[in-house]
Amino acid sequence: MSSTPLLTVVVFAYKQAAFIDAAIDSALGQQGEPIEVLLSDDASPDDTYARMQAKAAAYQGPHQVVVRRNERNLGIGGHFNAVMEAARGEMVLIMAGDDISLPERAHRTLDAWESTGRRADLIASHVVDMSFEGEDLGVIQVADLAKWQSMADWCRERPYVIGAAHAISKRLFQRFGPMALDCHYEDQVNTLRAIAAGGACTIDAALVRYRQGGMSSAAAHRRAGPVERRALLRAASARHLAVHQQWHRDAALAGCLPEVVKATEREWHRERYAAALVAGPDHEWPALSLLWDRNYRVSAGWRLDKWRRVAQRGG
């Protein structure tokens, strides 16, 4: 392998011991030229990291395998930053520790990148919807990112993306820098960054088997009581606001902050209002003053409906 690999496949994992072996096997089974395979654990309390070490020790194929672990749990944003710093490839292919990449994913990603003259900063693909138990349920198609040629396109309509099927250029991360630690939706952040920089494209094929989470936020919300639901909503609101704040920082670097602020203003005020509704003690109703507080530019009908939902059942 050359001193600088063209592609790094990163397997991100946290508490995924039940699925990590299959995820690693799919990363190590990538066809084409030798690549770097980086196995990264976010301080899991189970044996995810030990399984990574065992797989790496047993591997005898052409790819270079590196295993790393965060000393403490960093969360999605911090883990993403650490891995992007550690990856040596010019293009970094993202894998979750409970997903499975098809064998051709790496070389098809490189082919797509080469077809853009290595200009694109994000390469996406469709995914195979996979149940928690591993049953394939059909294909989920994402947006054709080549249609988003400029930030004006992004401002008109945000593309539908799934970060589990993304590959990101190292230079994109170097240009914009680390994400905020409280930012969990790296796919939304990287999509804006790429469109503002070298562009993005989508491979018209499903190259990732994308596992539905048994502990997904939607499932947890359905199981939760009012107090738990309020806590889940509080965390979700914080994540959504963090994405908007990261968009603003990145747009300022790219020279398009006014356009992004204008395009996302309605969502921004709704997210701020939703966060305010669940900011108080769990056992109390939302403050009545929020029904007419002019600091939140949201319609009266939407405001009242959201207030009632939180008051009646926590969200």
Whole-number pLDDT of residue 214:
46
Q: Is the pLDDT of residue 224 over 70?
A: no
Residue 54 exposed, middle or buried by CB count within 10 Å (0-12, 13-18, 19+): middle
- Its domain, for residue 235, covers 217-313
Residue 173, Cβ density class (10 Å: 0-12 exposed, 13-18 middle, ≥19 buried): buried
144 plus 291 within the same structural domain? no
- 205 and 88: one domain? yes
Tally of CA atoms within 13 A in the half-sphere of 261 that contains its CB: 8
| CATH at 124 | 3.90.550.10
Q: Does the structure show a pLDDT above 80 at 217? A: no
Is 56 among the domain residues?
yes
Residue 3 pLDDT greater than 70, yes or no: no
Residue 215: pLDDT over 50: no
8 pLDDT more than 70: yes
Any residues with CB less than 8 A from the CB of 148 and at least 6 apart, and which? 154, 159, 195, 199, 200
Q: Given a cut of 60, is residue 314 above it in pLDDT? A: no
Same domain, 21 and 113: yes
In a domain, 281, yes or no: yes
Indicate the range of 16-25, 65-74, 88-97, 231-240 predicted with least confidence. 231-240
37: closest CA among 10, 60, 3?
Answer: 10
User: Are 84 and 166 part of one and the same domain?
Assistant: yes
**If you average pLDDT over residues 55-71, what whole number do you get?**
97
pLDDT of residue 233: 80
Is residue 1 domain-resident? no
Domain boundary among 196, 211, 226: 211
Domain identity same for 189 and 57: yes
**How far apart, in whole angstroms, are the C-alpha atoms of residue 74 and residue 232?**
19
Query: Is 83 among the domain residues?
Result: yes
Q: Give which of 29, 166, 39 is closest to 103, Cα–Cα.
A: 29
> Do 190 and 260 have their domain in common?
no
Based on the structure, what is the number of domains in the chain? 2
- The confidence score (pLDDT) of residue 120 equals 98
Arithmetic mean of pLDDT, 266-293: 80
Domain boundary among 211, 240, 264: 211
- Single out the residue in 194, 211, 228 at which a domain terminates: 211
CB 248 within 8 A of CB 272: no
Q: CB 290: neighbour CB atoms within 10 A?
A: 18
**Residue 2 covered by a domain:** no
Distance CA(53)–CA(134), nearest Å, equals: 24
Say whether both 192 and 52 belong to one domain. yes
Distance, CA of 216 to CA of 212 (rounded, Å): 8
Same domain as 252, residue 174: no
Are residues 202 and 54 both part of a single domain? yes
Residue 95 within any structural domain of the chain: yes
Q: Are strands 7-13 and 36-41 parallel, antiparallel or unpaired?
A: parallel
Return d(Cα 190, Cα 76) in angstroms, integer.
13
Q: 182-194: per-residue pLDDT in tens?
A: 999 999 999 999 9
Does residue 308 have a pLDDT over 80?
yes
Assign 258 a pLDDT band (cuts: 50, 70, 90): very high
Residue 87 has pLDDT above 60, yes or no: yes
